Structure 1
Amino acid sequence: MSDKRLTPEEALNICNSQSRGTLKIFLGYAPGVGKTFAMLNEANRRLKYGQDIVIGYVENHGREETDSQIGDLGVLPRKTILYNGVELSELDVDAILQRKPDTVLIDELAHTNIPGSKNKKRYEDVLEILSHGINVISTLNIQHLESLNDVIFQITGIRVNETLPDNILQQADEVVVVDLTPDALQNRLRRGAVYRPEKVPQALKNFFRKGNLNALRELVLRQAAEDVDEDLDAYMKRKGIKDNWHTVERLMVCISSSPNSKKLIRRGARIANRYKCEWHVVSVNSTRLFFDNHTETDQKMLESHEQLARQLGAEVIELTGRSVSETLAVYANQKHITQIIMGQSARTKVETFFRGSTVNKLIKMVKNVEIHLIPIG
C-alpha cells in the first residue's frame, strides 16, 4: 500500500470515473451507411444475454430495415414539446433517469434539441445521463465534428450547422466505424433505402457524389486510425514498451541550416505521401557553442527550410540539446518514429575523429528504425 494520501479532488475524480456510464459511438461518413442498424443489432444481442437495455431515441427516417431491427427492445416514451404551435417530440432525459436502465440507445448525437428542451444539444443530454451511471450507445457522422466544419464545406459545398465538440468523441469509451463502400451506398440510395425515391437524383448530384463519399470515408478511417494509435501509445507507455511496433509509419527528417536540407525535406514529402503518414521535420539547436556558431544567415536559411516543410505538410519541430544525436534519438523514441532521413555528414575527418558520427551514434540509440542517408552536394 502506498503512504501517499489522495487529495479530495483526486478522490472525487476517481469516484466520478467509476460511477460514470460508458459511451459507445457508431461512427459513419454519411447518412445511410448503417449506423443505426448496427446499433440496434448490437442492442438486440445484449438483450438476448439479459442486459437491461432500452431505446431512448431512435430515428428510423422511414427505413423499413431499421424498424425491423427494433425487435423486442423496449422503447421509452419521448417528451412532447409545443413549438410554434406544433407538437414535436424529443428525447426525455428525466424519463431515462427515472427508469435507470443499464444501457440506453440514443441516436444522432449531434442533434440540436427543440427550444424548450432540458438541454440545447443532444450530446449534453447524453453527458447528463452518463453522469448518473447509465451507459449510452449513440451514432454520429464524421461531418458533425466541429474541427472538420470547414473541411466538410470545402469537400461538399454544404455547411453543416449541427456540430459537436471533438472532445465528445474523444470521451467515448469505444468507437465503432460503420463502413460501406461509396458504390454500395449509392446503390442503397437508388433502391430507396436511404431517402424517398423523389429525393435520390438530387442527392446523387450533390452530397452523395462519389468523390465526396470517398473523401468523407477517408476522414472517418483516418479518425479511427488516430484513435487506435492513441490507445496503442497509452498501452505502450503503461507497459514500459520502448521498441517501435511498425503498426503505422512515422517519418522524421533531420535538417540544419545547410542549403542541402531542402533536398531532404522534398524526399521526406515524397515518402510521407507514399505511405500517407505523419512526418516531422526536426532541427537541433546545439548548446555546444564552442563547436556550433549559429549566425543570423544560418537562422534565416533554417527558417526558409521550415517554411518549405510546412508548405509540404510536415510538423516542424525545433529542439535544443547538448548532443544532436541524443536529442534526435529521444524525440524519435517519444514519437515512435519508424523512418529517419538524414544527409551525409559535412564534418571533416578531424571533427568526426573527436566528436564521432551523428549517424552512427543515432543508429545505436534508436531501435527498429530505418535510417535513410541521402547524398548531398
Structure 2
Amino acid sequence: MTDASPHGRLKVFLGMCPGVGKTYAMLLAARALAEQGTDLVVGVVETHGRKETAALLEGLERQPMAKLPHRGTVLEEMDLDGLLARRPPVVLVDELAHSNAPGSRHPKRWQDVVELLEAGIDVLTTLNIQHLESRADIVRGICGVPVRETVPDSLLDRADSIELIDLSPRDLLRRLEEGKVYLGDRAQAAAANFFRPSHLTALRQLALRYTSERVGVDLHDIRSQRRHAPSWRVRERLLVAVGPSPFSPALIRRARAMAGALDAPWSAIAINTDETLSPDDAQRVSRHLALARELGAEASILEATDLVAGLLAAAREQGATQIVIGKSPRHRWRDHFRPPPALALLQSSGDIDVVAIEPGVLDETPAPPSTSSPPPAGRSATLREIAVAAIVAGVLAALGLLVFPWLGADNLALLLLCGVILGGLRFALPGTLTLALLSGLLWNFLFTEPFHSFEIHDPRDAIMFVALTIAALSIGSVASRLRRRERALSRQQSHHARLLEITGALTGPQSDPRTLGHCLETIMTLFRRPCALRLRDDATHELGPPHPAGRLELDPRDQAVAEWVFEKRQAAGHGTANLPEAAALHLPLQGRSFAMGVLSISPENGGLTFSDREILAAIAAQLGLALERDHLLRAIHHAEFLERSEQLRRSLLDHVSHELRTPVAIIGAALDALENEVPGRDLAPEMRAAHRRLRRVVDQLVESARLETGQVQPQPEWWDLLDLCETARERSQDDLTGHPFAIHIASGTPALVWLDGELTLAVLVNLLANAGQHTPAGTAIDLDAGLAEPDRLRFRVRDQGPGLADPARVFDRFHRGPHARPGGLGLGLSIVAGIVRGLGGTVTAGNATPQGAEFVIELPVRTSDHPPA
C-alpha cells in the first residue's frame, strides 16, 4: 500500500452501521499485508468482545495506549506521538469518528489520522455511514437519533480506497441475536431502537449510494484522462447561502451531499448587509462558515446592500449554476408586501437554478428570548430613531402653531413637507415613516378645519396628507438604500485599509526588528487584541524568543502549542480543531518552503469572527512570505560570500603552492650541493634569493590578513620625506637591480611630513617591487613626491615597461597580468589599495605616455608648514 508520495495513503472500510464486519475486514487486510512482509502497527482496534476479531489481532504489533488523567480517572487513547516516533509504513486505526478524551492534542480521532497521513504513514480505518458529516442529518431524520460524532467529507475525498462492507439487514439482525454485535441487554435495546429492519434498509441504501457516487467520481477522473473523449456534461457549481440561522449547518451538509452527488465544486457565502448582528449571531455565522470550509467548500463573506442582489452577484462572479438557500418561515402579511428571499431569488435568478430546501431538523436549538436581556443593537437603534422622529414631528407642529396665523394651512403643509424631506435624509425608513405620518396627522389635527379633529372635509387637505405620506415613503426608501450602500462601502474600505496597512508594514526588510515591531503594533491596533510573535532562529532552525513588541504573555501550554504549530505548519489553539483548549489562537507564518515563525493572538473581548480569521490568515501568510524572502536573500548573499571565499581559497592555495615550489627547489638543490661538496660553487646568493622570495610571500599573506580583519590603524609621526623615499629604495633594491632609478621631490615641498611612515613604506615598496618585476631590465623607474594640495601628499611611481592590460583590475586580489613573469601571488597591489584606503587616501593606475605604467597615490598629511594641533 505504501508508495513514494510525500503523504500517506488512506483506505476506509465503510459500513452501514455497527456489526457489519468492518473491523474484521480491516484486520484480514492487515494480516495479508503482514504476510507480504509489510511492517504495520495496530494503533487502536475495538473488538467489543468478539472472539473472531480478537483472534485476528494475535501476532500483530500493537502500540501501547496513551494514559490521560481526567477528573480523578485515567482514560486511554491512541498514542499519536508514539506512532509518529515509531513511523511504521502502515497503521490500523479503528472507529474514525471517535471523540478523543479531554487533554488530547486533537478533539477527534480523524484529526489524528490526518496527522499520520501528513507524516507519510498509510492508514487503514473503519467508518459507519451515519458518521459522515453530509449524511448525519439524513440519518437523524431516519432513525430519530442525533449523530454527535462526525467526520468531514473532505477527509474521505482524499481517501485512496473506500471498501464497502455490505451485509443484508436480515443477516445483520441474525448476528445481533447471536451476540456477535452487542451483548446482553445492550443487544436487546439495539434491536428495539436502532436496529429496525426499516432503519437498516435505509442506512444500507445510504452506504450503497455513497459508494456509487465515489465510483462515479473515479470513473469521471479516468475518463478525463482520455484526451479525445467527448465531454459528458457541463460542469456544475453550487453556492450555498449561510446566515446566523440554526438551520444553516443542516443546509450546508445538504449542499455538501448535493455537490458530492454531482461531482461539483461548491462554495458557501454569508451576505453582510446593514443589519447589525449581535455578537452571538456573528460568532454563529463564523462557525457555520468554518463548518463549510471543513467540509471542503470555499467560504467567504460578501458586503452587499441586499441579500438577493448579493447572492446573484456572487453566483455570477463564481460561475455558480445552482444557488442553495433555505426556506424561510412564512409570514402571511409580510410576504404579501415583501416576498421571502427564496421567492425573490427565484424571480431574479435568470439562468441560475435556485434550490430552496426545508432543512427539517435544527442543528442547534436556539436559546429562548430572555425578558431581562437587552434588545438587539439594531432594534434599539430603530426604537431610538422612531422616538427622535416623533419628537421632531412635535417640534415642527409647535413651530407651525407660532407661524400659522401668517402662513395658513397650505403653506404650512409645504414647510412640513420640507421637514419630512430633510428628516428622510437623516432617518431610516421606520423613522421617516413615523415623521411623515405624525406630521400629516398633526397637520390635519391642528391646522385644518374642523380643528382638533382627524376628520378631512376638504379634498385638497386629503391630497396634501397623501402627498406627505408618499413623499416620506419615497425619500425614506431612497435614503435607506443610500445608507446601506454607504455602510457596505465603509466596511469594505475598512477591510481593504487593514490589508493595505499591513501590506505597507511588510514592505520594509523583515530582518529589521523595527519593521517587525511596527507590523506587530499595526496588527494589535487593528484587532484590538494583544499579540505575540516568535520567529525562526536561522542558527537552530527552531522558534526563537518572543518579539519584544508583543504584548501577549504566553503560558507554558501556549508556548508548547506555538512550537507544535511551527513544526506542523497548521493553525491551532482557540477556535480551531487542533489543541482547542489553548488560551490563544496560533497561526503559522508559512512561506513557500517552511514556516518562518508563529503569530499568536488573544481572543479576549469576544471571539474572532470569520472575517477576522480570514484577515489574520492572510496577514500571517504575507508575513511568512516576506520573512522567507529576507531569509532567502540572506542565504543568497551568504552563499555568494562562501563562493567568493572558496574561490579566493583555491586561488590562494594555487598561488602559494606555485610560489613556494621554486624557492623550495632552490633550497633543496643547494642542500644537495652542500652534501656532495660541489667545489667552486657559491650557494649563498641562490639561498638568499630563495629566502627573500619566501619572506615576501609570508609578508604579503600576513599583510593581506591584516587588511581583511580591519587591523590597519594609522600611527602618524614626523618623517623626513627624502629619507622616506630613500628607505623605500633600499628595501626594494633586490627588485630594482638592473633598472635605472631616480627620486624626484617637487620644489616647494616641505622636508617634514606628518604621516604613518611604516605603512607608507609598505605601499611604496610594493609599488617599486611591482615595477621592477614586470618591466624589462634596463628600463628606468622613477619615484616622484610632492604636494597635490596643502594637506595632501602625492607619490607617483612610473616605469617604462609594456604598460597595463587592464588598469581597472590591477588592484584585485590574485590578479596577474597576461605578460607577468613567473613568481608572485598577485597580492602586492591589492595590499597597496587596502593600506591606502586605511590611511584615508586614494590610489589610481594607468598607462603612461609614451609607454609604461603609472601609479599615483594621494595621502592626507600635515607638513612642517602646517603642524598638527
Structure 2's unaligned 5+ residue stretches are: 233-260, 263-345, 358-869
Match of 2:68 in 1: 81
Instruction: Identify which of 71, 74, 81 aligns with 1:94.
Output: 81
The offset of 1:244, in angstroms, is 8.4
Match of 2:221 in 1: 234
Number of residue pairs aligned between Structure 1 and Structure 2:
245
Give distance in 1, aligned partners of 2:230 and 2:50: 49
Give distance in 1, aligned partners of 2:189 and 2:88: 42
Deviation digits for residues 150-188 of structure 1, max 9, x if unmatched?
Answer: 111110010010112111111111100001001000000
Q: Report whether the alignment pairs 1:172 with 2:188.
A: no
Structure with larger RCO (C-alpha < 8 A, sep 6+):
1
Instruction: Identify which of 179, 195, 200 aligns with 1:192.
Output: 179
Q: Report whether the alignment pairs 1:32 with 2:11.
A: no
Instruction: Identify which of 140, 146, 150 aligns with 1:153.
Output: 140
Give distance in 2, aligned partners of 1:31 and 1:195: 9
Task: Report SS of the residue matched to 2:57.
Answer: coil
What does 1:1-377 correspond to in 2, within 5 Å? Answer: 18-240=5-227, 242=229
The offset of 1:200, in angstroms, is 2.0
The offset of 1:69, in angstroms, is 1.2
Match of 1:353 in 2: none
Amino acid at match of 1:72: G
Give distance in 2, aligned partners of 1:131 and 1:240: 32
Deviation digits for residues 85-109 of structure 1, max 9, x if unmatched?
Answer: 1111101011101111110000011
TM-score by length of 2: 0.27
Give distance in 2, aligned partners of 1:153 and 1:84: 32
* Aligned residues of 1:59 and 1:107 also touching (Cα < 8 A): yes
* Aligned residues of 1:186 and 1:208 also touching (Cα < 8 A): yes
Cα gap change, 1:244 to 1:104, in 2 (>3 Å): same
Match of 1:281 in 2: none
The offset of 1:242, in angstroms, is 2.6
Give distance in 2, aligned partners of 1:26 and 1:180: 13
TM-score by length of 1: 0.61
Amino acid at match of 1:177: L
The offset of 1:71, in angstroms, is 2.5
* Aligned residues of 1:80 and 1:87 also touching (Cα < 8 A): yes
Deviation digits for residues 33-62 of structure 1, max 9, x if unmatched?
Answer: 000000001100110110001101001111
Deviation digits for residues 188-223 of structure 1, max 9, x if unmatched?
Answer: 000000101222222112110000000001111111
Cα gap change, 1:183 to 1:241, in 2 (>3 Å): farther
The offset of 1:18, in angstroms, is 2.4
Deviation digits for residues 253-307 of structure 1, max 9, x if unmatched?
Answer: xxxxxxxxxxxxxxxxxxxxxxxx98xxxxxxxxxxxxxxxxxxxx97x99xx88
Task: Report SS of the residue matched to 1:18.
Answer: coil
The offset of 1:120, in angstroms, is 1.1
* Aligned residues of 1:190 and 1:197 also touching (Cα < 8 A): no
Structure whose CA Rg is larger: 2
Deviation digits for residues 61-87 of structure 1, max 9, x if unmatched?
Answer: 111111011131111101011112111
* Aligned residues of 1:44 and 1:71 also touching (Cα < 8 A): no
Task: Report SS of the residue matched to 1:231.
Answer: helix
Cα gap change, 1:114 to 1:212, in 2 (>3 Å): same
Task: Report SS of the residue matched to 1:217.
Answer: helix
* Aligned residues of 1:27 and 1:177 also touching (Cα < 8 A): yes
Task: Report SS of the residue matched to 2:5.
Answer: helix
Structure number having the greater helix percentage: 2
Deviation digits for residues 120-157 of structure 1, max 9, x if unmatched?
Answer: 11111111111111111100001011111211111001
Task: Report SS of the residue matched to 1:234.
Answer: helix
Give distance in 1, aligned partners of 2:15 and 2:228: 33
Give distance in 2, aligned partners of 1:64 and 1:78: 21
The offset of 1:310, in angstroms, is 8.0
Give distance in 2, aligned partners of 1:310 and 1:193: 44
Give distance in 2, aligned partners of 1:225 and 1:208: 24
Amino acid at match of 2:68: I
Give distance in 1, aligned partners of 2:207 and 2:106: 28
Name the stretch that deviates more: 52-61 or 194-203: 194-203
Give distance in 2, aligned partners of 1:138 and 1:150: 23
Give distance in 2, aligned partners of 1:123 and 1:56: 13
Task: Report SS of the residue matched to 1:105.
Answer: strand
Give distance in 1, aligned partners of 2:6 and 2:55: 34
Give distance in 2, aligned partners of 1:189 and 1:179: 15
The alignment's C-alpha RMSD in Å is: 2.7
* Aligned residues of 1:52 and 1:103 also touching (Cα < 8 A): yes
Task: Report SS of the residue matched to 1:69.
Answer: helix
* Aligned residues of 1:60 and 1:66 also touching (Cα < 8 A): yes
What is the aligned-residue identity percentage?
Answer: 43
Give distance in 1, aligned partners of 2:231 and 2:177: 46
Give distance in 2, aligned partners of 1:92 and 1:160: 26
* Aligned residues of 1:20 and 1:133 also touching (Cα < 8 A): yes
* Aligned residues of 1:25 and 1:138 also touching (Cα < 8 A): yes
The offset of 1:115, in angstroms, is 0.4
Amino acid at match of 1:80: K
Amino acid at match of 2:130: Q
Give distance in 2, aligned partners of 1:148 and 1:178: 18
Task: Report SS of the residue matched to 1:43.
Answer: helix
